[in-house]
């Protein structure tokens, strides 16, 4: 069985990098650095959303289905460095060659991970392989928009037309799944400043799980799962989460509409 890895990341402004790019004094507080960057970004684009290379990764969560079952986890510990977290992600790809699944991963998550890996001097040979090391990767690799080793569900379901892109939360809820709970991406930076890293990691895990559930629905749509097999896979997710003692999974299951 090829492992299926649905993933999601959470980021905050890279204040150390922003001090360099904006020419700010080294002792400028993070909150001031971020606000200056937000203001400049708003003047340019009307939004304070920073470019991917200026986003610091603080959580990478994975929903993994393999021959051992289903599990959800966040890489490393909350106090691990960004470099350690990002390297673990690419090491997992090199070791397992999973089917990657994301929601807007091509537009945000993977560009952030790739650019931050470059900044930190990391290695990711399997991810970047386009047939140089494995001939099969010439025809199906993680980089091509139209290959399937990385399946960006948002992009695919919009039939590669950006104007039809749909948000993860709404699509998940419309499909009968819990959707986002307690936080959204715009709240991650304030939560980080308040020391709520565990809440951020929990939120990221629920996003990865919503993404995996939508992948199951997509496989049903494609005819790759029968109705019975689809039901069994969804039941496996629910049973796994029911077995957890972590509060966010109790909230997630409570928000799951009853069939």
- Domains of the chain are 4-254 (3.30.420.10)
- Give the pairing type, strands 69-74 and 99-102: unpaired
Between CA 106 and CA 97 the distance in angstroms is: 18
Please give the model's pTM, rounded to 2 decimal places: 0.96
Residue 70 three-state SS: strand
- Average pLDDT of the residues in 27-33: 97
- Average pLDDT of the residues in 86-115: 97
CB atoms < 10 A from the CB of 254, how many? 9
pLDDT at 187 over 70: yes
Residue 89 three-state SS: helix
The residue assigned the tokens 């673990």 is 88
Distances from the Cα of 153 to the Cαs of 83, 100, 147, 171, in angstroms? Answer: 27, 10, 12, 11
pLDDT at 182 over 80: no
């Amino acid at each position: 069985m090829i492992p299926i890895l649905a993933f999601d990341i959470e980021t905050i402004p890279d204040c150390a990098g922003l001090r360099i790019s904006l020419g700010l004094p080294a002792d400028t507080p993070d909150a001031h650095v971020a606000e200056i960057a937000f203001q400049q970004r708003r003047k340019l684009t009307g939004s304070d959303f920073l470019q991917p290379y200026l986003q610091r990764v603080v959580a990478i969560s994975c929903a993994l289905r393999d021959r051992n079952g289903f599990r959800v986890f966040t890489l490393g510990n909350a106090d691990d460095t960004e470099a350690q977290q990002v390297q673990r992600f690419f090491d997992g790809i090199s070791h397992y060659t999973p089917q990657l699944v994301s929601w807007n991963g091509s537009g945000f998550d993977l560009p952030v991970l790739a650019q931050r890996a470059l900044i930190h001097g990391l290695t990711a040979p399997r991810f970047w392989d386009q047939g140089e090391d494995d001939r099969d990767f010439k025809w199906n690799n993680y980089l091509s928009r139209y290959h399937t080793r990385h399946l960006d569900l948002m992009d695919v379901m919009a039939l590669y037309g950006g104007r039809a892109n749909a948000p993860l939360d709404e699509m998940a809820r419309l499909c009968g799944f819990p959707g986002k709970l307690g936080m959204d991406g715009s709240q991650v930076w304030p939560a980080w400043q308040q020391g709520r890293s565990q809440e951020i990691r929990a939120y990221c895990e629920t996003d990865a799980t919503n993404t995996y559930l939508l992948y199951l629905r997509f496989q049903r749509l494609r005819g790759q799962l029968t109705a019975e097999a689809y039901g069994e896979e969804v039941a496996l997710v629910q049973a796994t989460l029911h077995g957890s003692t972590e509060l966010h999974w109790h909230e997630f299951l409570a928000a799951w509409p009853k069939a």
